Structure formats: C-alpha cells, structure tokens
Amino acid sequence: MEIRTVGVVGAGQMGNGIAHVFALSGYDVLLNDISQEALDKAVALIDRNIERQVSRGKVSAEDKAAAMARIRTTTTLAELGQSDLIIEAATERETVKQAIFEDLLPHIQPHTILTSNTSSISITRLASRTDRPERFMGFHFMNPVPVMQLVELIRGIATDEATYKTLLAVVEKLGKTAASAEDFPAFIVNRILMPMINEAVYTLYEGVGSVRSIDQSLKLGANHPMGPLELADFIGLDTCLAIMNVLHDGLADTKYRPCPLLTKYVEAGWLGRKTQRGFYDYRGDEPVPTR
C-alpha cells in the first residue's frame, strides 16, 4: 500500500526529528503529544532545524515552507486514527507504549500500519497487544533523525511481507537506508552500542580512567566521533539504563548487567544533556566532567 499520511506519537527528541524528515519527504504529518507546549516547542525546533538545512543549501526555502505546512499538531491521540502509518515515539517504557496502542485501537483504520520507534523492546510482544500483529513493525530511527542515515526495520513474529515491503519503500522515499533486524532484545545497533557504553561506565566506576581520558581514548584511539560517555549523555542515561535492563532481562547473560554507577546517575536525575548534568556538567560555557 502507499503511505500518504503519518501520525507521530511523542514530540520529543525522536518524534520531532521523525516529523521533520517525513514532512520534508512529502508526507502529511500529524504530531501528537499530551502537552500543547511540547508540540509548540517541537514545531519551533523543526523550523529552526530545516532553516539550518536551507542556510547550508541542502533544502530550498520553498521546500521548507511546504514541509512546515504539512505538519499539524494535536493533543488528542484519537485524531491520529485516520493516518495510513502511525509511529509511536514515546518514552522507552513498555507500559507507556502499550497504553498508547490500546488507546489508539478503537480509532484506527483497517489498513493503518502501527509501528514503534523503540530501541530495544520486543516488537512481537507490543504487536500481540493490538488487533493487527501482522501490520505491526519496529521502525527504529537513529538520533538525530535528520542527520543519521540508518533505519532499523524489525519484524515481529507475525509481521507480514506486505507491511515490511511498504515500510522499506517509505525508508527509500525518506532517502535513508534500511537495516533489517530480527526481533531480539535491542536489535542490532543498541545490542552492540549499549554494552560498549556500559563498559565505558564500568571503566570509570573501577577507576581505570577519568571521564575525559575515556572519551579521549575512544575518539583518538578508535576514531569515534564522540566518546562513549559523551554519547551516553547525548542519548540520555535513563534510556541507556533502560536498554541495558532489556538486554539483561531478555538475554539473561551477566555480561549485560548495568553498571551500578549508571544506575546511580539515573537515580540522581543526572540524565545527560536534557537535564544539564550527566557524565558532564553542561550548565557553564563548556561541558565539565562530573567525575
């Protein structure tokens, strides 16, 4: 089937990026959040981010105006029911995601495809709580969405071929590259990335290196664009911990045990850039290591 209208649940870091790329690619987007303030902030951020693309010559002023005109917002989840495709991009908690899909079910069309931008939670389990597991998939964008080229497509055990091919065509229209992943905890990218970040936190916890020396070592010694602790702050330490818990619980292997220091930072509310403190303190002109 051809996708024309897209509903996005959640106007946060991922949701606004998803709305951005879909609108620029010609889709009509309805962006939902529980707060009108969050929606207004998201639209303003999308406007600024596309304007940056205009200033770099990557997008024309006309295309920007057309994209912004394609984005509508609503605080009423039921209004997304008319969409051909719905992408859930809410917080990385399974109970929240299940509640969203349960609230959506009475309002969606027979042909609507449901997807989740989850970075780690079982697609099969999420799909089983809906009336259409065959038209349910994992649709995992990387952060920041407008910049990163990869989209993980994750089929649940019941996902049919038509749904997969439809989303494959959507990824191509977005100008991105799809990687197909099986439905196992954390899929491909986070199955590899998060244990590396967790190991960097253990390296800090055990006193092998400081925040700065660990990040510098990976940037200069492994040619990574960001150090692992800097990257954790960018992702959000609560998200990192949630994914490590999914890996640990789902695969029952001690190598995925979250570092106690990561847990401690999350307990303190030091979640990284979004709270101004994580492994770095962002409240001054320059980020300063907190350990």
Active site residues: 119, 140, 152, 190
Task: State how far the Cα of 36 lies from the Cα of 241, in Å rounded to an integer.
Answer: 29
Q: Are 1 and 84 in contact (CB under 8 A)?
A: yes
List alpha helices for the chain, DSSP H: 13-24, 36-55, 61-69, 94-104, 123-128, 161-173, 189-205, 211-221, 228-235, 237-251, 260-268
Encoded tokens for 4 = 């024309």
What crossing angle do the helices spanning 211-221 and 189-205 adopt, rounded to 10°?
140
Task: State how far the Cα of 5 lies from the Cα of 138, in Å rounded to an integer.
Answer: 18
Token match 């936190």: residue?
201
Say whether 8 sits in a helix, a strand or coil.
strand
Task: State how far the Cα of 135 lies from the Cα of 94, in Å rounded to an integer.
Answer: 19
Task: State how far the Cα of 254 lies from the Cα of 3, in Å rounded to an integer.
Answer: 42
For residue 142, count other CB atoms closer than 10 A to its CB.
17
Encoded tokens for 151 = 């989209």
- DSSP H/E element including 150: strand 150-155
